[in-house]
Structure 1
Amino acid sequence: MDHMMFEVGTALILVAIASAIAGKLKFSIIPFLIVLGMLVGPHAPTIGILDFKFIESQGIIDFLGQMGILFLLFYLGLEFSVQKLIKSGRNIVVGGTVYVVLNFVLGLAYGFLINMPLYETLIIAGMLSVSSSAIVAKVLVDLRRTGNAETELILGMILFDDIFLAVFLSIMSGLLLGGATSVGATIISVCISIGYMLLFFVIARKGPPILNKLLNITSSEIFIIVVFSTMFFIAGFSETLHVAEAIGALLFGLALSETEHSERIEQLVIPFRDFFGAIFFFSFGLGIDPTTLGNALWLALGAVVLTIIGNLVAGMIAGRKAGLSHKSSLNIGLTIMARGEFTIIVANLGLAGGLSAMLKPFSALYVLILAILGPLLAKESKRVYRGMNQLFKWTDPVEKVKKRKA
């Protein structure tokens, strides 16, 4: 136990050093932490008493990372108004459908192009279709875009993407693992997931008076215990209904966003969000073995190119359909471009079903590239917009008004 605690402490010191370096360089900490995790993973050297393999402490680090996902998504839920999301319901459905269908079709085409068997092709299509909620949340917070016009649509598309993920995992689990293979069982499972999500929207709209009374707790100690305990319970319960635990935390945050205690909760969550969120990205990197990536390099690069194209096109369509400017629409595609935890879940399902071993290095490299490239492109969205605007000569409605006044 003592040695395990020393490993965890060493890991946290490395996370702190990488975060400090990223801060000095005014750079997103996400790529730093992921690469750091890779470098000190299973094949890291032992220097004196310092063992950077983190074998004994891997389980604890992974668990702390899972907590990071929950706090990131819970905070993101607190930042938004459910009423505005409901008003944007049509835009969310249109944007989410365009995003999922376009990326899934590109994944199918790519799988067939590289001569993958049918089931492997379906898994690849699923991998290309699901964004990383954790990275998207971190990017929005780091870049201070939670109040942007496009952010509510991004949040809605994440929820829509999770519904797709629930459907996809239900179907593929039945096909690959011999679970519920009937159409009826799959439909029931999906309807339960959707109904569960809608329940939180109802609570957010009708429940604030009751929630305000329940959370009217003077003691900060008891208040934080009640809120966080409920968050973890709901996250765990969500997973039993085939709704990702992170989305459960997001939904709980949405339910509390309309209460008079939302600002108080936000202030309490921020330190936990930042600390455990950093550990998540580090633990994600620990799970990537760099020695296995070479054989899948070209396959992963091809998938990355398709994903960039698919996300930019889907973001532009979704944003413009919702009446957003070209710049805001471009931000949508850049922000949801990162791939992470959900993509790995899809790949692991294929591996559990006995599919091609190539899925593991392919998914690791694909996720690594986009987990680094996605936040970078989102951070440099102004430069990307200027470059694309020179090519397409966009003229946003606001700019047209200015020209008329001139």
Structure 2
Amino acid sequence: MIVNESVLVLGISLLALFFAGFLATKINQSLTAIFIIVGMILQNFFPVTIITEFIATLGIIFMLFMFGLEFSVGSLVNNQKKIFYTGIYDFILNFPLGLLIGWLLGYDLIQSLLLAGIVYVTSSVIVAKSIIDLKRSANPETEYILNILIFEDMFIATFLAFIVGIVNYGKIDAKSIFFVMLKTSAFFMFFIILARTSKKYIDKIIDIDHTELFVILILSVIVLSAGAAAKIGLSEAIGAFLAGLLLSETKQRHRISEAIKPFQQFSTAIFFVAFGMSIDYKHFGNLIPMAIFIFILSSFSKVFGGYLIGKKYALSKKAGLRLGFSLIPRGEFSIILAGAIAMNHNLPYPLQCLTGFYVLFSAILGSIIMKESDWFTKWLIERREKEIKPIDDSSTMGPHKYL
């Protein structure tokens, strides 16, 4: 009976997602934000069921797998300098900001670190889709946007493994940090070495003509990798990410992506709904002003950082500002981090709920700002030029000005 009710709830959720998603596409809005709002509405009618929780977990696993599949160990190694330097600028300007905000809000170290990650990481899904929709693939800043996204995703994947490992270890001290770092590094190195040395053999193993057997084999690799990560005290999502990284080196990469994409899209949508259903309305009044405040601070930090990166790589002022505006949306990784461990709801700003509202603001407003970034950059540059112009005029008067 419980299973039957869960299936009915799932059916209602999917129907609600369809209509909401259809509306979102008509107004060119982020599906991430819309799906969270659907979850917030549905929580008034029924609770999160065991089937919804299970599919939401699969959503995280498939999402991270698809991220890993988009990378190539070879291309990361070849482009490592540019990825590192652009990424480190972005990291220095944004990660400590979240850490400081967490400390000011009275969070403990783990919660402050999670908030730092939430504030720091840009939504790769929203930004990549917006670049395609706005036809900006050939823009001079796009290469640097993608480099930053790669750095952020790689960092957050490692960070998630580390933070979950620390929580599972039970305490934070030098010994536990060393042990978790060693374990995380060993797990990453195993998959990277396997990807670099066994590509030929992996290609042979997964070269299966029968579609059903091919999908079953790929799913088994994903789930076993996720399970292995969980078994040693890391996040299941990291195992899935590394499985994607492993298979990204194969000739079947495109076929794998096409086979897994429907599973990923379905389960990810349910993941966002389940997250929306976890947002507690009783904190609504306290959270909205704080979420807006964090959004404004983190948006300014991203734009400023993008502008500096643009200046370093000799981009125009407009391209540098567009780079910064493109980094404002937050989404999938922020939500995954918020749900990484159970938060203390007795705090004035429960992290999971705060993240929900923060992601809503940044996903919706960030998408709009990115779309209208040409207008914003033109307005900012023209305003700056008007402020400087009187000074420039007076400087051309020469020495007789002082006579």
For normalisation by structure 1, the TM-score amounts to 0.77
Partner letter of residue 32 of structure 1?
I
Contact 1:301 1:366 in 2 (8 A): yes
Q: Is the 8 A contact 1:75 1:253 kept in 2?
A: yes
The CA RMSD over aligned residues, in Å, is 3.4
Tell me, yes or no, if structure 1 residue 90 matches structure 2 residue 62: no
5+ long unaligned stretches in structure 1: 45-52, 394-406
**Distance of 1:356 and 1:59 partners within structure 2:** 27
- 1:17, CA displacement in angstroms? 1.0
* Match runs of 1:7-156 below 5 Å: 7-41=9-43, 44=44, 53-55=45-47, 57-111=48-102, 116-117=105-106, 119-120=107-108, 123-124=111-112, 126-130=114-118, 135-137=123-125, 139-141=127-129, 143-144=131-132, 149=143, 150-156=145-151
Mapped to 1, the partners of 2:235 and 2:373 lie a distance apart of 29
Q: Per the alignment, in what secondary structure is the counterpart of residue 305 of structure 2?
A: helix
- For 1:380 and 1:247, the matched residues in 2 are separated by 35
Paired residue secondary structure (2:257): helix
Is contact 2:94-2:119 (8 Å) kept?
no
1:277 pairs with 2:268:
yes
Verify the 8 A CA contact 1:91 1:322 in the aligned structure 2: no
1:367 corresponds to 2:359: yes
Q: In the alignment, is residue 344 of structure 1 matched against residue 338 of structure 2?
A: yes
What is the CA distance between 1:9 and its match in structure 2?
0.8
Q: Deviations over 1:324-354 (max 9, x none)?
A: 77637844763464053244136x5552xx8
- Are 1:136 and 1:336, in contact at CA under 8 Å, matched by a contact in 2? no
Q: CA deviation at 1:3?
A: 2.3
Flag the 1:218–1:134 CA change in 2: closer, same or farther, 3 A: farther
Match of 1:204 in 2: 195
Map 1:324-335; keep pairs closer than 5 Å. Answer: 327=319, 330-331=322-323, 334-335=326-327
1:232 pairs, out of 209, 223, 240, with: 223
1:293 alignment partner, SS class: helix
Whether the 8 Å contact between 1:104 and 1:126 is mirrored in structure 2 is no
Cα distance in structure 1, aligned partners of 2:180 and 2:295: 32
Go from structure 1 to structure 2 and tell me whether the alpha carbon gap of 1:383 and 1:152 turns closer, same or farther (over 3 Å shift).
same
SS in 2 for 1:144: helix
TM alignment of 1:236-385, pairs within 5 A: 236-241=227-232, 243-317=234-308, 327=319, 330-331=322-323, 334-335=326-327, 337-339=329-331, 340-345=334-339, 348=341, 351=344, 356-360=347-351, 361-385=353-377
- State how 1:179-218 maps to structure 2 within 5 Å: 179-218=170-209
Query: How far, CA to CA, are the matches of 2:342 and 2:363 in structure 1?
Result: 20
> Contact 2:39–2:276 at 8 Å: present in 1 too?
yes
Q: Distance in 1 between matches of 2:203 and 2:69?
A: 15
8 A contact 1:131–1:158 mirrored in 2: no
Does 2:152 correspond to 1:157? yes
Deviates more, 1:201-210 or 1:334-343: 334-343
Moved more, 316-325 or 259-268: 316-325
Shift in CA distance, 287/143, structure 1 to aligned 2, threshold 3 Å: farther
Q: Where in structure 2 are there 5+ consecutive unaligned residues?
A: 386-403
CA distance in 2, matches of 1:367, 1:237: 30
Whether the aligned pair in 2 keeps the contact of 1:38 and 1:285 (CA below 8 Å) is yes
Q: Which amino acid aligns with 2:293?
A: G
CA distance in 1, matches of 2:80, 2:218: 28
State the Cα distance separating 1:24 from its structure 2 match: 2.7
Q: 1:337 to 1:288 in 2, by over 3 A?
A: same
Instruction: Report the alpha carbon displacement of residue 289 of structure 1 after superposing the two structures with TM.
Output: 2.4
Q: What secondary structure does 2:339 align onto?
A: helix
Paired position in structure 1 for 2:400: none
Amino acid at match of 2:326: L
One-letter amino acid of the counterpart of residue 276, structure 1: S
Q: Secondary structure in 1 aligned to 2:132?
A: coil
Mapped to 2, the partners of 1:306 and 1:392 lie a distance apart of 21
8 Å Cα contact 1:85-1:152 kept in structure 2: no
| Shift in CA distance, 318/226, structure 1 to aligned 2, threshold 3 Å | farther
Q: Read off the aligned partner of 2:339 and give its amino acid letter.
A: I
- 1:213 Cα deviation from its structure 2 partner: 0.6
Distance in 1, matches of 2:278 and 2:249, equals 38
Q: Is the Cα contact below 8 Å between 2:226 and 2:238 reproduced in 1?
A: yes
Are the equivalent residues in 2 in contact too, given 1:98–1:318 (CA < 8 A)? Answer: yes
* C-alpha spacing 1:240/1:141, structure 2 compared with 1 (3 Å): farther
How many Å apart are 1:369 and its aligned residue? 2.4
CA distance in 1 between partners of 2:275 and 2:230 (Å):
20
Report how far residue 8 of structure 1 moved. Answer: 1.2
Per the TM alignment, residue 301 of structure 1 is displaced from its structure 2 partner at its CA by 1.9
Amino acid at match of 2:35: L
Count of paired positions:
372
